């Protein structure tokens, strides 16, 4: 794999009509499940959302989620604090990033919508999707066919690189 897919991954907030094939959704979920995790505990669970009513309710509930009104799908990335109390957030963040990169590789648009640690966002997503109280809600990933194009971006900044010591 070429590293250019990392640079092509951009936050897409405008989606064109059209569904995402089931095989692509499975690929995205598999990418999330392939993320590294502390002690290989894999403390993630995912809620795949494709029903318009649920997507619209999420769009209304999340203060930065209006693109969900146009999205074909969303994935709620959830964590199991009970099996990884110290690292579920980092592990589920890695899973979220894997989904975003896989979406770019598939030619799909995506954007990360943060939920944790904003309790009002967590509570709203939990209520809409029926997520149990014992499960952490890290993020929503809005997905769809992109209705906007963004150029690849390399943010390398030599000034932020410290070699050997600070």
For the chain, give every domain's residue range.
4-148
Asked whether 142 and 93 are in contact (CB, 8 A), the reply is: no
Q: How far apart are the first and last CA of the chain?
A: 32
HSE-CB of 96 using CA atoms within 13 angstroms? 24
Q: What is the DSSP letter of 106?
A: T
What is the pTM (predicted TM-score) of this model?
0.96
Q: What is the pLDDT of residues 50-97, one digit of tens each?
A: 999 999 999 999 999 999 999 999 999 999 999 999 999 999 999 999
One of 3.40.109.10, 3.40.50.300, 2.40.440.10, 1.10.540.10 is the CATH number of 4-148, namely: 3.40.109.10
Of 77, 74, 81, 72, nearest to 96 by C-alpha is: 77
């Amino acid at each position: 794999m070429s590293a250019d897919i990392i640079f092509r991954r951009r936050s897409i907030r405008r989606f064109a009509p059209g569904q995402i094939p089931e095989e692509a959704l499975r690929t995205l979920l598999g990418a999330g499940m392939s993320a590294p995790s502390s002690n290989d505990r894999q403390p993630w669970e995912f809620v795949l959302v494709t029903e318009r009513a649920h997507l619209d309710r999420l769009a209304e509930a999340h203060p930065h989620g209006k693109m969900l009104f146009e999205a074909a799908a969303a994935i709620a990335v959830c964590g199991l604090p009970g099996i990884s109390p110290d690292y579920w957030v980092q592990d589920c963040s890695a899973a979220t990033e894997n989904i975003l990169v896989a979406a770019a590789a598939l030619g799909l648009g995506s954007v990360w919508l943060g939920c944790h640690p904003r309790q009002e966002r967590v509570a709203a997503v939990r209520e809409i999707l029926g997520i149990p109280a014992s499960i952490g809600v890290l993020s929503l990933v809005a997905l769809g066919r992109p209705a906007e194009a963004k150029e690849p971006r390399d943010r390398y900044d030599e000034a932020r690189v410290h070699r050997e010591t600070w």
